Amino acid sequence: MRPTSAALATAFALILSGCQAEAPAAPTAPESSPAPEAPAPAAAEPAASAHVGLMAHEPWSRPLAPGATVAAGYMHLMNHTAQPETLVGARAEGVGRIELHDMAEVDGVMQMRPIDGGVPLVVDGMAAFQPGGKHLMFIDVTRSWTEGDVVPVTLVFESGTEAVIDVAVTASKGESSGDEHAHH
């Protein structure tokens, strides 16, 4: 029973790859279709969002300049599950490794540093990954990372849960884009 999470989840829904135990996609209560021989048609629809509530809202990253191999990723990560979770890592195809970074001011200069112990999320908690703060650091990027690309990234939590998010590569996020003036 999560009132608002469903709405938030829609556009940027996680494709949940978690549940390693492969909970046999429990016979997703076939509302009213008694068809006993239907070969699990649910596969195409991410009905998973119903039972796991680790969500990344608007994950994005700026396009890489030619020759660059390091990018930062941003999102609002929410834990609408019944237990605390801690984000401890991530991975993606075409990316050598992904680190969790934070920013700190040292002698008036902002520097980034790895986050020790991961990013904890209490129940219904949210962690903001945004320019100037926490971010995913994509290192040794070998895949395409240009405007319009969508990069599937697997988030790894301490509990063993994993969740795949689609990071949108776009230059326009975060900068004020004159045409979209009325948010928040």
Does 134 bind Cu ion (CB under 5 A)? Our answer is no
Q: Does 62 bind Cu ion (CB under 5 A)?
A: no
Distance between CA atoms of 151 and 41, rounded to whole angstroms? 26
Phi then psi for 181, rounded to 5 degrees?
-110, -10
The reply on whether position 6 binds Cu ion by CB under 5 A is no
Does residue 100 interact with Cu ion by CB under 5 A?
no
- Selected from 62, 80, 101, 134, the binder of Cu ion by CB under 5 A is 101
- Nearer to Cu ion among residue 80 and residue 101 (C-beta): 101
Q: Bridge partners of 58?
A: none
Taking CB under 5 A as the rule, does residue 137 contact Cu ion?
yes
Q: Is 115 in the site for Cu ion (CB under 5 A)?
A: no
User: In angstroms, what CA-CA distances link 21 with 17, 112, 161, 165?
Assistant: 10, 36, 10, 20
80 binds Cu ion (CB under 5 A): no
Smallest distance, Å, CB 70 to Cu ion?
Answer: 8
Asked if residues 158 and 88 have their Cβ atoms less than 8 Å apart, the reply is yes
Which one, 52 or 112, has the nearer CB to Cu ion? 112
Residue nearest Cu ion, Cβ-based: 101
AA letter at 55: M
Q: How far is CA 156 from the centre of its chain?
A: 10
Interface residue list for Cu ion (CB under 5 A): 101, 112, 137
